């Protein structure tokens, strides 16, 4: 099938989202010299809303308008941070993921104006984050610290930190890399200290199912190991049926020899109860591995824990 001559790329309009699009444009240009790309930026309801995301239906608030532009034919390709794409329900009918780019850093970073690491922050330090995953893990490991709600893209959160709305921030390493702000990092936290969200560090390319020309054009950008990790993690979250107030974390690791493992964590919001599971796929498919880890946690009480969290 001939390569598409023009690919219109729809994305959120934040600086980080547009930086992600530039990565896709560069990789497409390297793969298909002479291809033309156009950016179709949209502002999502999640970007406009400053309150609790649960009131907008959770993470889907960051993808709805992007999906609409794709389905309406205003764009050919959508670029998503996979962690922002709901896994508790299917992709919008008529769309599919054509590729998952090679995964970026999955870890979280502490940003503190004085450069202190997490363990040296004094009691009462206000950590800016609205992530229930981060809040629960901080409550478990550093109960002497406080959390204050801060939402918005990474640039706006850094501005709020400078304005004194928090004493420090927790942000994704990959996000800070994309906006060229790694010099702000005080400490990169280990995954043992702060288990990442499902889909961390993965950019997913979404197309209309019937647009075979665009699918064929972009599919070679996909990284097989990242796809396997994403498939296991998203099935894990799907089987758990966690909502936007559920502190759930986990990550899969695809080794060069083909070995695939998945760690999954479920927390109470106060961090006082933590359920953990870690399994290897063996002969299982990535989706079966995700299902197995989720069922292990369900047998340990994860479903009841999630159901007891208001949303």
C-alpha to C-alpha distance for 234 and 149, rounded to whole angstroms: 26
C-alpha to C-alpha distance for 251 and 7, rounded to whole angstroms: 31
C-alpha to C-alpha distance for 213 and 7, rounded to whole angstroms: 10
How far is the CA of 100 from the CAs of 60, 154, 224, 256, 295, in angstroms? 19, 22, 8, 17, 26
- The β-bridge partners of 100 are 204
| Contact indicator for 17, 178 with CB cutoff of 8 Å | no
Q: Which of 172, 192, 191, 198 is nearest to 111 (CA)?
A: 172
Q: Which of 140, 242, 234 is nearest to 195 (CA)?
A: 140
For residue 217, the SS3 value is helix
Q: Which residue has the tokens 């033309």?
A: 36
Q: Which residue has the tokens 């020309």?
A: 213
The question of whether 84 is a catalytic residue gets the answer yes
Q: Which of 67, 234, 46, 192 is nearest to 130 (CA)?
A: 46
| 160: exposed, middle or buried (Cβ count in 10 Å: 0-12, 13-18, 19+) | middle
Phi and psi angles of residue 240, each rounded to the nearest 5 degrees, phi first: -70, -25
Q: Which of 61, 11, 79 is nearest to 41 (CA)?
A: 11
| Contact indicator for 15, 41 with CB cutoff of 8 Å | no
Instruction: Tell me which of 67, 76, 84, 211 is the catalytic residue.
Output: 84
Q: Which of 129, 134, 178, 177 is nearest to 14 (CA)?
A: 178
| Contact indicator for 276, 263 with CB cutoff of 8 Å | yes
Task: List the catalytic residues.
Answer: 84
């Amino acid at each position: 099938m001939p390569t598409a001559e023009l690919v219109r790329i729809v994305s959120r309009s934040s600086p980080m989202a547009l930086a992600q699009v530039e990565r896709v444009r560069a990789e497409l240009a390297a793969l298909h010299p002479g291809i033309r790309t156009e950016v179709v930026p949209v502002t999502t309801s999640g970007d406009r809303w400053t309150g609790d995301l649960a009131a907008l239906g959770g993470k889907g608030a960051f993808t709805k308008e992007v999906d609409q532009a794709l389905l309406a034919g205003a764009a050919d390709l959508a670029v998503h941070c996979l962690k922002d794409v709901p896994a508790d329900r299917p992709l919008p009918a008529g769309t599919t993921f054509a590729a998952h780019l090679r995964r970026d850093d999955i870890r979280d970073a502490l940003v503190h104006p004085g450069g202190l690491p997490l363990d040296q922050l004094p009691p009462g330090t206000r950590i800016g984050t609205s992530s229930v995953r981060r809040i629960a893990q901080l409550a478990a490991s550093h109960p002497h610290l406080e959390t204050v709600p801060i939402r918005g893209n990474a640039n706006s959160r850094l501005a709020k930190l400078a304005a004194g709305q928090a004493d420090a921030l927790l942000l994704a390493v990959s996000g800070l890399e994309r906006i060229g702000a790694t010099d702000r990092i005080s400490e990169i936290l280990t995954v043992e200290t702060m288990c990442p969200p499902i889909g961390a560090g993965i950019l997913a390319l979404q197309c209309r199912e019937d647009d075979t020309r665009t699918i064929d054009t972009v599919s070679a950008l996909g990284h097989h190991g990242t796809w396997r990790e994403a498939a296991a993690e998203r099935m894990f979250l799907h089987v758990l049926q966690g909502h936007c107030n559920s502190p759930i974390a986990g990550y899969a690791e695809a080794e060069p020899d083909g070995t695939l493992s998945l760690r999954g964590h479920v927390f109470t919001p106060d961090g006082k109860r933590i359920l953990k599971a870690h399994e290897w796929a063996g002969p299982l498919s990535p989706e079966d591995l995700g299902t197995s880890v989720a069922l292990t946690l369900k047998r340990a009480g994860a479903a009841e824990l999630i159901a007891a969290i208001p949303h």
